[in-house]
Structure 1
Amino acid sequence: MKFSYVNHTQIHFGQGQIQAIAQAIPADSKVLVIYGGGSIKRNGVYDQVAEALKEHQWTEFSGVEPNPTKETMDKAVALIKEQDLDFILAVGGGSVIDGSKFAAAAAKYEGDSWDIMTGVHQVAEAVPLGVVLTLPATGSESNPAAVVTKAATHDKLPFFADAVQPKFAVLDPDVMKTLPERQLVNGIVDAWVHICEQYLTSPAGAMVQDGYAEALLKNLRVLGGKFDQRDNDEWRANLMWTANQALNGLIGAGVSQDWATHMIGHELTALYGVDHARSLAIVQPSLLRNQMNFKQAKLEQLGRNVFGLSGDDVAEQTIVEMELFYHSLQVATQLTEHQTDKASAIDAIIDQLESHGMVELGENQAITLKESREILEMAVAD
């Protein structure tokens, strides 16, 4: 395919780089620091941010939850408008960053903020924002995408707008030292599926994109295999950079992309509170098997080049190896969190997909509600 590629987010990578925000944010900016539940006050990140902003005028907004909600972020929007704040600094992982992107766009819009998610409002301007990344996983720190939930209706939707791509991102691996094991595992899985959504599609002869994607997948296999060595500067730095590169636009340039695993996974999170990364691990293997006619060539390529497989039925072997990889990290590949019987859970998920217009998913638009139901039949535990 033809493509135009640019990534205008400036990355400040390495230990001690939080101080770089002092110069990265214009001196005359009125800054809103947005963060989550307060862990940054326990691990020293908040103090480093405060020191870096000592010459700036700033205030803060906390309480952004995992899977940020419209309801919470509307409060941040009100604060931005009330105090005429003109720069946002998101300090957190993907949820804080996504919520901050939503607030940045909504602060420049006078209508209902949810219009951004439904496409009623096309975002053309936003409050500029920067990021201090605390959890490597989503790549949201250097891309124009965000996912937000409307808690009142259990709707979880994505939006994309160049205007909300961060101006800069600080990636200091030291901030990972106090992360819970579960969050580190989620980061590995999330990055893995991000790569697969851009790689496991149709062969395009894209040697750079394929080769780079395979290198990133190999990194994640190594990091997962050495999870017991995670309290290590090199391990942390490699996960943080790999997760960033998984979704900064490069490996997806000029090739078809899928994202059906994400769209179905979002419904598991919205309905049953499944961690985002774990929802992907639940959906992906069943989806790949369902779409084998389209995925076989790239599955075989992945199996040969990443897992070192050979012989017969390499595509199916590759899916099995992916499941074993998730299981080695204690991540399930079937949904067990549904509170009702299997049939009712599947019906609920299908209803949500239909209400959100997710009726033709995948790189070939071949995953209709029929295929989604077949995928869920395999992915939902009895």
Structure 2
Amino acid sequence: MNNFDFYNPTRILFGENRTASIDEHIPGDARVMVLYGGESARRTGTLDEVRQALGDRTAVEFGGIEANPKFETLMRAVETARAEHVDFLLAVGGGSVIDGTKFVAAAIPFEGDPWSILTEHGANVHSAMPFGTVLTLPATGSEMNHGAVVTRAELHAKLAFMSPHVFPQFSVLDPTKTYTLPQRQLSNGVADAFVHIMEQYLTRPAGAMVQDRFAEGLLQTLVELAPQVNEGENDYAVRANFMWTTTWALNGMIGAGVPQDWATHMIGHELTALYDIDHARTLAIVLPSLLREQRTVKAEKLLQYAERVWHITEGDDEARIDEAIAKTEAFFEGLGLSTHLGAYDLGEEAIDAVVEQLEAHGMTSLGEQQDITPAVSRRILQRSLKA
């Protein structure tokens, strides 16, 4: 196991009707900006709950943050926050709204071009405005980590940044908020969390028994919950476990002290930026093909994954690896997520465009071994062309 620092200051307020609790965690004299996405936050009553919890505090609302939060939109939020002398932010929504709020929090006090926050991946962030979150869509884990992804539409660029200054101070996790979600978003959330875990787990052995067992338990939980989540019934126990699993998938614990991959995400980000495919659906396209391409360097962990997550114990090493990858692919397909570019009417021309963008963004040595070059990324995408 590698040396590591583990730090996570986010307070979790978990359970039904916890939105009212934010009153205890925001200064009484705060000037609050509430950031949200579309009309669902208003239609479902969540915004009304937030307004009631804020009480007499001055509150400014900023809506319209996209499913892949756009730099251009977020800069308007920054301008509004500065003009209104806001000193606390509150994100109401899923990972995109929370990611966007993290960028706004970092950009408000930032001196210089805020785009450099993303091009420097957060290395130049030295302070941020405090903020909390009310999670309505479990998927990304952004409610309990210090990373965010933002898209700049004019550049077709989707870049990530991380900073210890953008941990949420608190996050409200109310499983009943998932009851009004469309099935597509629920399925995407399961897939997104699954791949988050895989990016930290299915790399190379690091002697990290605790992290491995946590990761395997989370993967097994998602496999078990997926059919029940897909049924769409408002079962509190199912949704509570689903919400908590997606948070643990990316709150830093299972990634502490272990090598991490993230090539699936980097390639997937380019697919989203170029072709506006749902983030989780790009991950379902890329991961099975990446595992096939990297099966030799990942062989030891693939065999561990096969046995501990999918209970595959019969056959030689190659057969067990084949079956584990096939089950992974079937898992995504069972959620309604295609694992091939052809399902989105994309062919070789899309591969050229994605590889060009990877090179433009410096993504030339991806993966835990840093051996996924643009040529390897091209082979991964070629494997993803069709069934």
Which TM-score applies when normalising by structure 2?
0.96
Aligned length: 381
Identity of aligned residues (%): 51
Which residue of 288, 291, 302 corresponds with 1:285? Answer: 288
CA contact (8 A) 2:313 2:320 kept: yes
- Kept in 1, the 8 Å contact 2:183–2:232? The answer is no
Give the aligned partner of residue 328 of structure 1. Answer: 334
Task: Kindly indicate whether the alpha-carbon contact (under 8 Å) linking 1:92 and 1:135 is maintained by their aligned counterparts in 2.
Answer: yes
Taking the aligned partners of 1:286 and 1:71, their CA distance within structure 2 comes to 33
Q: Match of 1:59, SS?
A: strand
Distance 1:304 1:381 in 2: 28
Q: TM-score, normalised by structure 1?
A: 0.97
Q: Which residue in 2 is equivalent to 1:225?
A: 227
Secondary structure of 2:298's match?
A: helix
CA-CA distance at 1:54 after TM superposition: 1.1
* Residue pairs, 1:313-324, within 5 angstroms: 313-324=319-330
Of 285-294 and 137-146, more deviation after overlay is shown by 285-294
Q: Does 2:366 align with 1:377? A: no
Going from structure 1 to structure 2, the CA distance change for 1:338 and 1:228 (only over 3 Å counts) comes to closer
Q: How does 1:192-231 map to 2 (within 5 A)?
A: 192-226=194-228, 227-228=230-231, 230-231=233-234
In 2, Cα distance between the equivalents of 1:316 and 1:295?
Answer: 12
Deviating more after overlay: 324-333 vs 245-254: 324-333
Q: Is the 8 A contact 1:229 1:235 kept in 2?
A: no
Cα distance between partner residues in 2 of 1:338 and 1:318:
25
Structure 1 match to 2:170: 168
Once structures 1 and 2 are overlaid, which stretch shifts more, 285-294 or 176-185?
Answer: 285-294
1:185 and 1:71 map into 2 onto residues whose CA distance is 28
After superposition, residues 140-289 of structure 1 pair within 5 angstroms as 140-226=142-228, 227-228=230-231, 230-289=233-292
Q: Check if 1:24 corresponds to 2:29.
A: no
Unmatched 5+ stretches in structure 2: none
Is there any run of 5+ residues in structure 1 with no aligned partner, and where?
A: none
Q: Structure 1 residue 84: deviation in Å?
A: 1.1
Q: What's the counterpart of residue 113 of structure 1?
A: 114
**1:302 counterpart = 2:308:** no
Q: What amino acid maps onto 2:157 in structure 1?
A: D
Q: Does structure 1 residue 8 correspond to structure 2 residue 9? A: yes
Alignment match, 2:351: 346
Q: How does 1:47-66 map to 2 (within 5 A)?
A: 47-66=48-67
Which string of whole-angstrom CA distances, capped at 9 and with x for unpartnered residues, describes residues 129-160 of structure 1? Answer: 10000000000001000000001111000000
Q: Deviations over 1:59-100 (max 9, x none)?
A: 110000110000000000001111111110000001000011
CA distance in 2, matches of 1:127, 1:345: 39
The Cα of 1:343 is off from its aligned counterpart by: 2.0
Whichever residue aligns with residue 10 of structure 2, its letter is: T
Structure 1 Cα separation of the partners of residues 120 and 289 of structure 2:
30
**Partner in structure 1 of residue 135 of structure 2:** 133
1:109 Cα offset (Å): 1.4
Deviations, residues 298-349 of structure 1 (Å, cap 9, x unaligned):
1111110111101222112100000111111111001136666x22111100
Tell me which residue corresponds to 2:369. 364
CA contact (8 A) 1:274 1:337 kept: no
Query: Structure 2 CA distance, aligned partners of 1:284 and 1:60?
Result: 38
| Structure 1 residues 233-265: Cα deviation after superposition (integer angstroms, max 9, x where no partner) | 011101100000000000000100000000000
Shift of residue 204, structure 1, vs aligned partner:
1.3
8 A Cα contact 1:272 1:338, kept in partner: no
Aligned to 2:124: 122
Which whole-Å CA distance do the structure 2 matches of 1:296 and 1:78 have between them?
A: 50
Kept after mapping to 1: 8 A contact 2:365/2:371: yes
Check the 8 A contact 1:70/1:113 in 2, yes or no. no
> Amino acid of the residue matched to residue 119 of structure 2?
T
- AA at the equivalent of 1:175: K
State the AA in 2 paired with 1:144.
H
Amino acid at match of 2:325: I
SS at match of 1:336: helix
Q: Would the aligned equivalents of 1:202 and 1:297 in 2 still touch at CA under 8 Å?
A: yes
Measure, in 1, the Cα distance between the counterparts of 2:57 and 2:386: 52
Whether the 8 Å CA contact 1:272–1:337 is kept in 2: the answer is no
Distance 1:338 1:331 in 2: 11
Describe the shift of the 1:230–1:216 C-alpha distance in structure 2 as closer, same or farther (beyond 3 A).
Answer: farther
- Residue 296 of structure 1 and its aligned partner are, at CA, apart by 1.1
In the alignment, residue 317 of structure 1 is paired with which amino acid?
A: E
**How far apart are 1:110 and its partner, in Å?**
3.3
